[in-house]
Amino acid sequence: MRILQKPTFQRAYKKLHVQQQSDVDDAIRLLIQQPQAGEAKVGDLAGVRVYKFRTTNQLMLLAYSHDEDTITLTLLALGSHENFYRDLKKSL
């Protein structure tokens, strides 16, 4: 499986602590095995899935898209719930 990272995801990932980065890596490994694990979004965010997980007592959201034809997982955004969907719409 090919994994692509968008710049918004890369910037958010770099700012995390080591333990939080490890939790994100675990979430990505799970998504590689089960690409349908995240919740599919509708409307403006159609085609995007969001996987929610906990890291250091905080809820994190990981936005991604999965393409069956090219077997590609594209990591779009990462962050806490506050303004996550608004910022995600802007980046798309």
Looking at the predicted structure, is the pLDDT value of residue 1 above 90? no
Please give the pLDDT value at position 16.
94
- pTM for the whole thing? 0.91
CB 63 within 8 A of CB 48: yes
Q: pLDDT for 25-76, tens place per residue? A: 999 999 999 999 999 999 999 999 999 999 988 999 999 999 988 899 999 9
CB 44 within 8 A of CB 89: yes
**Torsion region of 73: left, alpha or beta (phi above 0 gives left; psi -120 to 50 gives alpha):** beta
Report the pLDDT averaged over residues 73-84. 93
Please give the pLDDT value at position 5.
95
Please give the pLDDT value at position 92.
84
| C-alpha span between 17 and 22 (Å, rounded) | 9
